Amino acid sequence: MASRFSSDLRLLPAPAPLLPSWSVVLCHWRTSDLPRQVASGGIVVAAVGRPRLIRGEALGAWGLTEAGAGSDAAGMRTTATRQGHEWVLNGAKSFITHGRIGGVMVVIAVTDRTLGHRGISAFVVEHGTPGMAAGKKENKLGMRASDTSEVICADCHVPASQLLGSEGQGFVNTLKVLDAGRIAS
């Protein structure tokens, strides 16, 4: 993977003890090339934003965490409702690394609450899409170079083609990405 960040990743072990915030930014970028990581097992990947991520021209963000939901996927409140040839996202994500500066974000949302974790889907949303905005930046004790914020979707319309993978596979694909990130760390 050729990018302006690739060479920085080779240097990561050396500065990590001295620059932990920068290490978080680089590690998160490395593990948030989300479309590439979930492009296995016949999953159709949205082309939106992917070239910019791979070339290192944009940072990715991963919109999974929500206040009050913790690790309980069934407690997720962000929804995506199908309206014709698009999805409408509503809800808020918390503690999102690159939430204000990421060029492309994968948003995990409930598409059918009656199906539990099988009713959760993932969507690729580009920074600047109307209806998606960064909320407050987290005032963290440390790791201040790592931009972490809330991300709010309020009637955020995305084309149906920006569904990442198949409808209802968002939770399963999320687990694959999290496992890959743990291995890469």
CATH number of the domain residue 28 falls in: 2.40.110.10
CB 163 within 8 A of CB 87: yes
Under the banding of pLDDT at 50, 70 and 90, the label for residue 61 is confident
Cβ partners under 8 Å of residue 107, min gap 6: 63, 78, 80, 89, 93, 122, 123, 125, 132, 151, 153
85 pLDDT exceeds 50? Answer: yes
Residue 1 counted as domain residue: no
pLDDT at position 84 is 96
DSSP percent split of the chain into helix, strand, coil, nearest 5: 30, 30, 40
Range of the domain at 36: 6-184
Domains contained in the chain, number: 1
Domain assignment present for 158: yes
- Does a structural domain hold residue 60? yes
Give percent of the chain above pLDDT 90.
Answer: 29
d(CA 64, CA 118): 15
What span, in angstroms and rounded, lies between the C-alpha atoms of 74 and 92? Answer: 15
The pLDDT value given to residue 40 = 37
pLDDT, average across residues 20-44:
47
What is d(CA 165, CA 16) in angstroms, rounded to the nearest whole number?
34
Phi-psi region of 50 (alpha: psi -120 to 50; beta: other; left: phi over 0): alpha
pLDDT bin (cut points 50, 70, 90) of residue 39 is: very low
Integer Cα distance of 107 and 149 in angstroms? 14
Per the listing, tokens 């290490």 go with 23
pTM equals 0.75
